[in-house]
Amino acid sequence: MDKKKIVVGLSGGVDSAIAAYLLKKQGYEVTGAFMRNWDAIANNDINGNPTLFDPMCPQEQDYEDAKKVAEQLEIPLLRVDFIKEYWDSVFLYFLDEYKKGRTPNPDIFCNKYIKFDAFRKWALSQGFDTVATGHYAKRVDKDGLTYLYKSFDQQKDQTYFLSQLDQIQLKSSLFPLGNLDKHEVRAIAKELNLAVATKKDSTGVCFIGERHFKEFLHNYLPMKKGDIIDINLNKKIARHDGVFYYTIGQRKGLGIGGLKDYQDAKSWYVCKKDVENNILYVANDGDDEHLMSDSILIGSLNFNTIKPLEGQSINAKFRYRQTDLPVIIHYLDDKHVKLVFPRPYKAITPGQAAVFYDGDICLGGGIIEEVYYKNQKIN
């Protein structure tokens, strides 16, 4: 009987390396593939001019690391480009959300449209049976359906980023690290003496890398200075570089301090953004009322297996690594639901993902479009 042919997305990191190792150990015919989805040499800025090479983008170093891993594991390594697909399906969405004053999570749509769509379709066209990645998540098959479960390592669980996958994508994907914790993964890599055994985890935007984010965005969104207003006193207290660059709940990098009339102010946080008038509203730390919400409108719905019942109590996560919070789901139409909270929750941000859970099962999710408190839209 022929071995099942699997292509592993080798990113140049330790997680994907160990995913490939485990699959080979299990007897699969394993090939690695490095995805190049961002042009690190030249991209166009807001005026259509190419931006200069950014030495902070580690993509080429990642490729060299992936080659070393493939050599050590004795598996072939292919290189495939999805630059146009990434730009069209992920990066333009990313920019459009910022233009609306929202805070997007591009990694979720990178998984939906690139790693488990463009890459998966390419893999199948090349004769591979399935794709695998180094995500911390579990695939569980039962009753004819493929379920997405939280990983054994709850601190590293990445089902939040996989919440937009559908049944077709889940059925043709494997997550070999689902039953391991990060310490075990590192230990295996050190035992194998892999070149990436001690390489730090990537924390940058999917495929773009770690950068000074405001400067990076400035290449694509024009910087327009405006007023920072104390929302309680409706008083101008400072200037900002552009509302696009700030996030609800943000405390660092506001440039507010030592104000003459605010000797008792400890720190400030962003509580509202008025994109149309280019105004950033802030409140003093400790005054959390402006961050509270009791219901939200969710769009871009995706349920990968079980669709919750109308009025059902489920759990939701509004940020990666956040504790699951109870919510009640109400259907408005095929594309939107309203989540009602049993108590007010803090710092829920439009543009971010709301991911639904039934215990350890990830049911899917959607994008936060509007946030409400006491029947008033607050962002």
Determine the average pLDDT of the residues in 351-372: 97
**Residue with more model confidence, 233 or 297:** 297
Mean pLDDT of the chain: 89
**Active site (catalytic) residues:** 110, 206
Give the pLDDT of residue 265.
59
Q: Is the dihedral of CA 48, 53, 56, 59 positive or negative?
A: positive
Is 5-215 a domain of CATH 3.40.190.10? no
243-286 confidence digits (pLDDT tens):
988 888 888 888 886 676 665 656 889 999 998 899 999 998 77
User: So where are the chain's domains?
Assistant: 5-215, 223-286, 290-377
In whole angstroms, what is the distance from residue 65 CA to residue 14 CA? 10
92-129 confidence digits (pLDDT tens):
998 999 888 898 888 999 999 999 999 999 999 999 99
In degrees rounded to 5, what are phi and psi of residue 142? -160, 145
Give the pLDDT of residue 43.
53
> In this structure, which topology does domain 290-377 adopt according to CATH?
Elongation Factor Tu (Ef-tu); domain 3 (2.40.30)
Predicted TM-score (pTM) of the model is: 0.89
Strand ranges, E, within 267-324: 268-274, 279-284, 292-303, 313-317
What CATH number labels 223-286? 2.30.30.280
Confidence class of residue 14 from pLDDT cuts 50, 70 and 90? very high
Determine the average pLDDT of the residues in 312-337: 96
**Both tokens of residue 12?**
């140049």
Task: List all residues 6 or more positions away from 179 whose beta carbon is below 8 Å from its beta carbon.
Answer: 138, 151, 152
Strand ranges, E, within the chain: 5-9, 29-36, 77-81, 130-132, 138-142, 145-149, 173-174, 226-230, 235-240, 268-274, 279-284, 292-303, 313-317, 325-331, 337-346, 353-358, 361-373, 376-377
> 102-135 burial by CB neighbour count: b if 16+ within 10 A, else e?
bbbbbbbbbbbbbbbbbbbebbeeeebbbbbbbb
